[in-house]
Amino acid sequence: MSDRDKAAGAIRRPPPLTPDDALFLDFDGTLVGLAPTPDQVHVTPGLPDMLAALSDRLGGAVAVVSGRRIVDLLRLLAPFTAPMAGQHGLEIRHADGRLSRRAAEAAMQPSLDALARFAACHPGAMLEDKGGSVALHYRNAPHLAAACRDATRDAVVASGGGLRAIDGNKVIELVPASVGKGHAIADLAGEAPFRGRVPIFVGDDATDEDGFARVDSMDGVSVKVGPGVSAARYRLPGVAEVIAWLARGSRR
């Protein structure tokens, strides 16, 4: 697909899911629609059961890879439980239920304090403290985009290389420099039940680009949801189309 086609949001549909695939799914903007604030997201009633059926067909090789905390993903998707990567891979829930977590960066607390002061002075900006990472939202104040980028850039510089900023859909996240969805996918892909399968990653945002690059390097399938320039090789127009594609794949 050419850069022009990517920019225009041209659609090259992903292939049908097979029992030999390993599926990695972003959450916001992929499985559920975006909401004004993270706690206002709506999970359709049938989604957990559909994911459970899909996981059963793929031998358990279904994982959620998100910027959200794992505890929040488990609550939102209950009773469905699965391997998960939260906070862009800062924490990982493995197939056997083990939870592993990277050590928090010492630079995170000063950055959190600085961004909290910024948000307090800019109505419409919202700071989300996830414990090991921070998200500065400006969905309710899109005119603050440049100011939010400047504030997070200053925090990255002050961290001395310990942190990096991920520019998402009206949100900028600060995470440890060693963390990313691509790393999380690679870690899970090396474990049962994902090992030896074709990795597929579906995501909607700039925060998912390193995941697309990683699965492509593993001869997998990268799927971008919605418009916008992306390295992903395939496209789905929106959440409804993702759910329909997954539902077809969940049927035996």
User: Exactly one of 21, 26, 204, 205 is catalytic; which is it?
Assistant: 26
Of 225, 247, 250, nearest to 34 by C-alpha is 225
Tens-digit pLDDT profile for residues 106-155: 788 999 999 999 999 999 999 999 988 999 999 999 999 999 999 999 99
pLDDT at position 252 is: 67
Tens-digit pLDDT profile for residues 85-97: 999 999 999 999 9
* Residue 198, strand partner residues: 21
Q: Is domain 3-102+179-250 in CATH 3.40.50.1000, yes or no?
A: yes
Report angle CA 133, 135, 140 to the nearest 5 degrees: 170
Domains 3-102+179-250 and 108-176 alike in fold: no
The CATH code that applies to domain 108-176 is 3.30.70.1020
pTM of the predicted model, to two decimals?
Answer: 0.88
Pairing mode of beta strands 62-65, 21-25: parallel
pLDDT at position 44 is: 95
In angstroms, the CA 52 to CA 89 distance is: 22
Evaluate whether 31 touches 70 at the Cβ level (below 8 Å): no
Tens-digit pLDDT profile for residues 63-77: 999 999 999 999 999
Contacts of 219 (CB under 8 A, 6+ apart): 198
Length of the chain (residues): 252
**DSSP H or E run through 5:** helix 3-8
Residue 113 annotated as catalytic: no
Residue 5 has pLDDT above 70, yes or no: no
- b/e map 45-82, b = 16+ CB within 10 Å: eebbebbbbbbebbeebbbbbbbbbbebbbebbeebeb
pLDDT at position 98 is: 94
Domain ranges of the chain: 3-102+179-250, 108-176
Evaluate whether 73 touches 64 at the Cβ level (below 8 Å): yes
Q: Which two tokens stand for residue 205?
A: 């945002």
Of 248, 176, 249, nearest to 22 by C-alpha is 249
**DSSP H or E run through 99:** strand 99-101
Report the chain's terminal Cα–Cα distance, integer Å.
31
